[in-house]
Amino acid sequence: MEKKEQSSSPIPEKKASNSEDKAERSAYAKFIGMGVQMLIIILIFTWAGKKLDERSANEKPIYTAILSLLGVIVGLYTVLKDFIQKTDD
């Protein structure tokens, strides 16, 4: 009968190389950047809608609603386009 050696630490050691660690961080940074890009696009469109509503003195925030939705669409388009291009690379 052979005895198997057991390590004293219950946590398995992770032996990742530096290049793998950098690649993983780089992937996270790309996706975080995409989210921030989408957020900025939506905020800019919403801000523009508010300014247009202030200028036109509408009772209802029509421009804010329209430009906010347009910002979401443009943001999603931009992020999905970047995501598809980056996964193909």
SS (H, E, C) the chain: CCCCCCCCCCCCCCCCCHHHHHHHHHHHHHHHHHHHHHHHHHHHHHHHHHHHHHHHCCCCCHHHHHHHHHHHHHHHHHHHHHHHHHHHC
Segments forming the whole domain that contains residue 71? 30-88
Is position 79 within any domain? Answer: yes
Question: What's residue 20's pLDDT?
Answer: 76
Is position 84 within any domain? Answer: yes
Per-residue pLDDT tens over the stretch 23-59: 778 778 888 888 899 999 999 999 999 999 999 988 8
Per-residue pLDDT tens over the stretch 7-25: 565 666 555 567 777 777 8
Is position 59 within any domain? Answer: yes
Is position 47 within any domain? Answer: yes
Is position 13 within any domain? Answer: no
Number of structural domains found in the chain? 1
Is position 14 within any domain? Answer: no
